[in-house]
Amino acid sequence: QAAAGLQLSSCGDTLKTRIDLRTKPAIHPRDKSRVFWLTSDKETLRYTAKILGQEAKAEEVLGQYQQRIDELKKRLGNQLQQLEIAVIFYGEGIIYTISDRATLVPVVFNDIGLRYKFLSRGGNLEPPLSIEAMSDYDADILFIVNVAEKPSSFYFQHPIFRSLKAVKNNRAYIVEQETWSAQGMLGANKLLNDLFKYLPQGG
């Protein structure tokens, strides 16, 4: 886990990532679009570390992250090839899911080798869904990101959620928006905490 240190911000503070440094300078790279659209947060960290001469620290952080990925894959074993994951963000008046664009959740899922459902919607990072389309996101495991801060009973007693396979099999999990909307390597490690907790059978 990387301690708070450097703050890297792009246009509108859309992307923020932190690496371990003794000071907290804010850096605004000239090529802001490149920072935001890098293929993964690993590349963002390397890019930032290179600017500040902290490549060794960045590789240490990334190595620790990869060790956690490898450990989770080991714990999952054969389940890794069998599981399909869906992620639903439930807010007041809006439901949305992950896309195949450059957000943290699919990056981590891809690093693990998980199969997951997503929408490809052009420039929309979080494609909206209708409640009627929920059945299209039935999967072995469902993560419900509780943007609306509803009690668990709201989801598990809702007729549409109750009809989903993951709910029937007790493999639907209510998770926090703070974790599932995070960015950077700190965000990746928070997300991994949840995946370690819930993905292995019996978790």
pLDDT band at 19 (very low <50, low <70, confident <90, very high): very low
Per the CB < 8 A criterion, the answer to whether 152 and 158 are in contact is no
* Domain extent at residue 24: 7-75
**pLDDT of amino acid 202:** 56
pLDDT band at 10 (very low <50, low <70, confident <90, very high): very low
Q: What is the mean pLDDT of residues 146-171?
A: 93
Q: Which residues pair with 173 in a beta bridge?
A: 143
Percent of the chain beyond pLDDT 70? 72
Residue 88's φ and ψ, nearest 5 degrees, are -120, 125
**pLDDT of amino acid 149:** 95
* CATH number of the domain residue 103 falls in: 3.40.50.1980
Residue where one domain finishes, among candidates 47, 75, 103: 75
SS3 annotation, 14-64: CCEECCCCCCCCEECCCCHHHHHCCCCHHHHHHHHHHHHCCHHHHHHHHHH
Residue 2 domain-assigned? no
Residue where one domain finishes, among candidates 58, 75, 92: 75
In tens, the pLDDT along 42-78 reads 777 788 888 888 888 889 888 999 999 999 999 999 9
Whether residue 140 is found in the same domain as residue 84 = yes
Residue 203 domain-assigned? no
In the chain, the number of structural domains is 2
The DSSP 8-state label assigned to residue 99 in this structure reads B
Residue 62 domain-assigned? yes
Whether residue 95 is found in the same domain as residue 63 = no
Residue where one domain finishes, among candidates 32, 47, 75: 75
**Helix (H/G/I), strand (E/B), else coil: 133:** helix
